[in-house]
Amino acid sequence: MAKRGGFPGAMPGNMNNLMKQAQKMQKQMEEKTKEIEGKEWEATAGGGAVTVKVSGKKEVVSVKLSEEVVDPDDIEMLEDLIVAATNEALRKMEEESSQAMSSIAGGLGGLGGGFPF
């Protein structure tokens, strides 16, 4: 005799609970994404000679240069410092964003880790 509805071997309420949990997780991720997009991260290079600030939307918000780093005879060094500070600020933003999303997704056991099939 065949079972009606659901997955073979699954308990009747499990799919409903899983769907509710997934919807809750999706809402939490949307809220966290909005929160992250509103934040800013800052990093420096050259001992503070260059400071770059980025947003959670992965946009450069500001670049500050100290006077002593502005040398018309060494533009390449200034460019390197700006790139270094920008990359570090973006790395900080990505790291915090990734940790925040991992903590939310952990509620489902890694999406697939806890499924019996």
Q: Is the pLDDT of residue 90 over 60?
A: yes
Q: Output the CA torsion 53→56→59→62 (10° steps).
A: -20
Q: Are 48 and 39 in contact (CB under 8 A)?
A: no
Angle, CA 53 vertex, CA 47 and CA 69 arms, to 5°: 35
Name the token pair of 110.
């890694």
Q: Name the pTM for this structure.
A: 0.69
- The DSSP H or E segment spanning 53 is strand 50-55
Which position has the higher pLDDT, 53 or 13?
Answer: 53
Residue 5's pLDDT band (cuts 50, 70, 90)? low
